[in-house]
Amino acid sequence: MTDGLSPALRAGPPPRVDQTQRRAWRRQLPGVLGGGLVGALFAFWEPAVLGRALERVAWAEFGLWDWVLVVLLALPTLQAPLWLHEIGHLVAGRLAGFKARAMLVGRWQLDFGPLRLSRSRVPHPGGLALMSPHPEYTRRRDWALYLSGGVVINLLSAGLALGLAAQWRGWTLLLVLGFAAVSLVLGLVNLLPLRVQGFVTDGGHLLGLLRGSGDSEARLLCAALSAQGAGGSRYADWDPALLARAAQRAESADVRAMVSLLRAIHAEDRNEPEQAMRHYGELADLLVSSQLSCVPVSLQGHYLLPVAGFLASQGEVQAAQRWLEGAGSLMLDPYLRDFTRLRLGWAQGQAEPELRAQVEAALEHAVDQAGAQFARTLLLTHAPQPVPADVIA
């Protein structure tokens, strides 16, 4: 049992807020702004080209099979801009020297090491390109190139589709115009400096880079450290000076929460429980005071579960149970929840061999290799003891 447990750590995380009810106007704002921008662009688009295209749609004779094809192809056609957006980030990231780890679009996840397409356990409203920058400090222009890749490919593909619209007829023209509209909305909305369900748009990140804000520098430092972790280096090997610099420059609650988490797992891997307790306490204070709004919904489990695991290791079983229950089930690395349950079982004197086997198998596909290495270290520490031969006899 650890003395001096902060009230936030002891109380556990706040209840999850229903994202469908919280600030509904903010959720609708990107679509409204994007639709307005697309409407304005269509109004000033070359009238002859767009007018002829829409005229052919209006006068086209659609048969039953035409409508069947439109319905069948509508979903992949309208989802294509999302895939192109993330592919744009991947291509631009590779040009900047980043290493691709995974890509999420809707309910699909594409891992690159090894190449594997699977159903994601983190349903995302849009897409997410997970890339590791160079382990050393990354330049601003490298980040600017990576961030602009998705917007550029969306705007280019929308312009190309609209430019070729005059060459299509009937149901194919409907799909081309739908693709162009979604690409245009996606590209333009991502240029706006917005925050959607905890995620900052590409435009918001780019604006921070241009301003040279403290948050931008702290994000770059955290990304460089996370890249080392994704590459396989241990949390304990992170440079404490970089972590201290990130903490000094962090301004907003979401960046401060990110820095606190990295400092906590760094201290825990270095077997510095007092430092880890302090940083986990800072993280808990931020999560509780913000009602979890400082962390994207799909990443909340990755913030809450390390807190639960550490508390379990310190004998704070009841507090650990509260943080585990509040974490939910949305995980980029599915092993993390089972591993935390296993740590809680160890704190209660339970071996749970079946759960241990599940965790060991899942570690092979972990996105965060540093986290997997940390888990393997603890698994070795809590390895089942062989039964002495004289006891067997």
Instruction: Choose from 171-175, 279-283, 367-371 the range with maximum mean pLDDT.
Output: 279-283
> Angle, to 10 degrees, between the axis of helix 240-249 and the axis of helix 214-231?
150
pLDDT digit string, tens, across residues 143-166: 889 999 999 999 999 999 888 877
> Angle, to 10 degrees, between the axis of helix 214-231 and the axis of helix 253-269?
40
Predicted pLDDT of residue 219: 83
| pTM of full prediction above 0.75 | no
Q: CA angle at residue 111 from 107 to 112, to 5 degrees?
A: 150
For residues 105, 108, 110, 111, the Cα torsion angle rounded to the nearest 10 degrees is 120
Helix (H) or strand (E) holding 30: helix 24-44
Side chain identity at residue 372, one-letter code: A
Q: According to DSSP H, which parts of 125-213 are helical?
A: 140-163, 170-191, 202-211
Predicted pLDDT of residue 123: 53
Cα 386 from Cα 280, distance rounded (Å): 35
pLDDT digit string, tens, across residues 64-101: 555 556 566 667 777 889 999 999 999 999 998 888 87
Predicted pLDDT of residue 89: 93
Q: CA angle at residue 115 from 113 to 121, to 5 degrees?
A: 85
Q: CA angle at residue 89 from 200 to 214, to 5 degrees?
A: 40
Weakest-pLDDT range from 191-195, 272-276, 288-292, 378-382:
191-195
Domains along the chain with CATH numbers: 28-207 (no CATH), 232-382 (1.25.40)
Q: What is the mean pLDDT of the chain?
A: 79
Cis peptide before 7 (omega within 30 of 0): no
Predicted pLDDT of residue 348: 92
pLDDT digit string, tens, across residues 327-357: 876 666 778 999 999 999 999 998 889 999 9
Q: How many CB atoms lie within 10 A of CB 344?
A: 21
Predicted pLDDT of residue 46: 47
pLDDT tier for residue 124 given thresholds of 50, 70 and 90? low
Distance of CA 279 to the CA centre of its chain: 22
pLDDT tier for residue 24 given thresholds of 50, 70 and 90? very low
Cα 268 from Cα 278, distance rounded (Å): 11
Distance of CA 125 to the CA centre of its chain: 11
Whether the pLDDT of residue 389 is over 70: the answer is no
Closest Cα to residue 127, out of 88, 175, 72?
Answer: 88
Q: Which residue has the tokens 């890749």?
A: 149
Weakest-pLDDT range from 34-48, 59-73, 368-382:
34-48
Whether the pLDDT of residue 317 is over 60: the answer is yes
